[in-house]
Amino acid sequence: MSLASRLPPRSTPARPPGPRSVPKPAPTSGPRGPAGPPRGLRDRRRWRRGRISRLLTAPLPTAALEARLGPLARRARRALPWIAAALGLAALVWAVGSLWSRSGPSLAPRHRAEAVCFALAAPPPYAPPMRVEPSAALVRGRFTASMPPSMALRAAMQLDDRMVLSERTERVGDYDVATAWLRLPGTETSHRWLVVGWMEETDFAVCSFRFVGDADELSPAERQWGARLLARILVPQNFRAGVLPPFRLRGSRDGALPVFGPKPKS
């Protein structure tokens, strides 16, 4: 037996325990959260802070505005009294003119025929494209009260059938009124007359309107404006027995009736 077999076995020193390894968590299959701002957010923020944002948030240049507007404000303050005076003068002139037009001298009609002609000058005035010259007359006591106005018209103006282009009689208000288109030769130009006549007891009233033109025949425009003239004057309120129409002629110095239409060429 050898000496080595009698020796006790060598004990091996134990190693100190090392650090324990922590198991890593298993990766998840879900979507990962964004670590930073989403793409494009920074660009949008920069766009919001662009020119408009700077204009809205920047302080107003009050000093520069005062420096620019100050001279204009001083000029406006100096001119304000003159502007107020000019406006006051204009208002005064308008008020005086309006008062004069309302209360100025006016011509009252002597009979119904004149009042009917005055009606054409009342606002809005009769404004044909051709020249129309009115006249009015009252023939007293030459006819009987039963005389038809068409016959009285022919007798008073000494008309024949060649002069009468058209005629008619209608009831207007309290009177029978005769109207006729006449063609009467003139010295320089041909004239067409539109006449309106009615009987007032034994008096014959007549309004005549001369349409001045160059043609010999009655034109469609003259017929049209003649119809407008009749529609203007042949209304019941102008033909009430015992009551004159409430029209007055303003601006007439010598009592002459106004001429309607364009002025004659000089």
pLDDT digits (tens, 9 = 90+) for 166-198: 999 999 999 999 999 998 765 555 678 999 999
Does residue 146 lie within any of the structural domains? Answer: yes
pLDDT at 45: 47
Instruction: Enter the tokens of residue 148.
Output: 């038809």
215 and 146 within one domain: yes
Q: Give the percent of the chain with pLDDT over 90.
A: 40
Question: What is the per-residue pLDDT for 133?
Answer: 93
Identify the pLDDT of residue 240: 96
pLDDT for 212 equals: 86
Same domain for 189 and 83?
no
Q: 172 lies in a domain? A: yes
Element (H, E) at 211: strand 203-212
Same domain, 133 and 213: yes
Q: Tell me the mean pLDDT in the region 140-150.
A: 93
Per the domain annotation, does 60 fall within a domain? no
Q: Are 141 and 188 contained in the same domain?
A: yes
Question: Quick one: pLDDT at residue 244?
Answer: 92
Residue 90 resides in a domain: yes
Considering 86-95, 160-169, 194-203, 250-259, the range whose residues carry the highest mean pLDDT is 194-203
Q: Are residues 148 and 89 in the same domain?
A: no
Provide the pLDDT confidence category of residue 199 given band limits of 50, 70 and 90: very high
pLDDT at 53: 59
| 255 lies in some domain | no
Q: Which comes out higher in pLDDT, residue 20 or 123?
A: 123
105-129 residues labelled b (16+ CB within 10 A) or e (exposed): eebebeebbbbbbbbbbeeeebebe
Cα separation values, 17 from 11, 12, 20, 24, Å:
18, 15, 8, 21
Q: Are residues 133 and 162 in the same domain?
A: yes
Tell me the CATH number at 162: 3.40.1000
Instruction: Note the pLDDT tens digit of each residue in 83-131.
Output: 877 787 777 766 545 554 454 567 888 999 999 999 999 889 899 999 9
Among 104, 124, 159, the domain boundary falls at 104
CA 38 to chain centroid, in Å, comes to 61
- Judge if 215 and 96 occupy the same domain: no
Q: Which domain covers residue 182, as residue numbers?
A: 112-250
Summary count for the chain: helices (H), strands (E) = 7, 7
The larger pLDDT score, comparing residue 199 to residue 262, is at 199
Report pLDDT for 23: 56
- Specify whether 227 is located in the same domain as 119: yes
Looking at the fold, whether 124 and 230 belong to one and the same domain comes out as yes
Domain-located, residue 21: no
Residue type for position 129 = P
Same domain, residue pair 82 and 152: no
Q: Would you place residue 248 in the very low, low, confident or very high pLDDT band (cuts 50, 70, 90)?
A: confident
Give the mean model confidence (pLDDT) for residues 8-15. Answer: 55
Helix then strand then coil, in percent of the chain rounded to 5, is: 35, 20, 45
Count of the separate structural domains present in the chain:
2
Of 104, 122, 143, the residue that ends a domain is 104
How open is the CA angle 15-21-25, to the nearest 5 degrees? Answer: 170
Structure tokens at 70: 């100050």
Residue 169 is predicted with a pLDDT of 96
Identify whether residues 139 and 221 lie together within a single domain.
yes
The mean pLDDT of the chain is 78
| Neighbouring C-beta atoms of residue 169, cutoff 10 Å | 16
User: Does residue 100 sit in the same domain as residue 117?
Assistant: no
215 inside domain? yes
Neighbour tally for 193: CB within 10 Å: 20
The predicted model gives 27-33 an average pLDDT of: 53
- Report the sign of the C-alpha dihedral through residues 33, 36, 38, 39, in that order: negative
- The mean per-residue pLDDT over the stretch 217-224 comes to 91
Cα separations (Å) of 83 from 39, 69, 79, 80, 89?
63, 20, 6, 5, 10
Q: Is there a domain that residue 62 lies in?
A: no
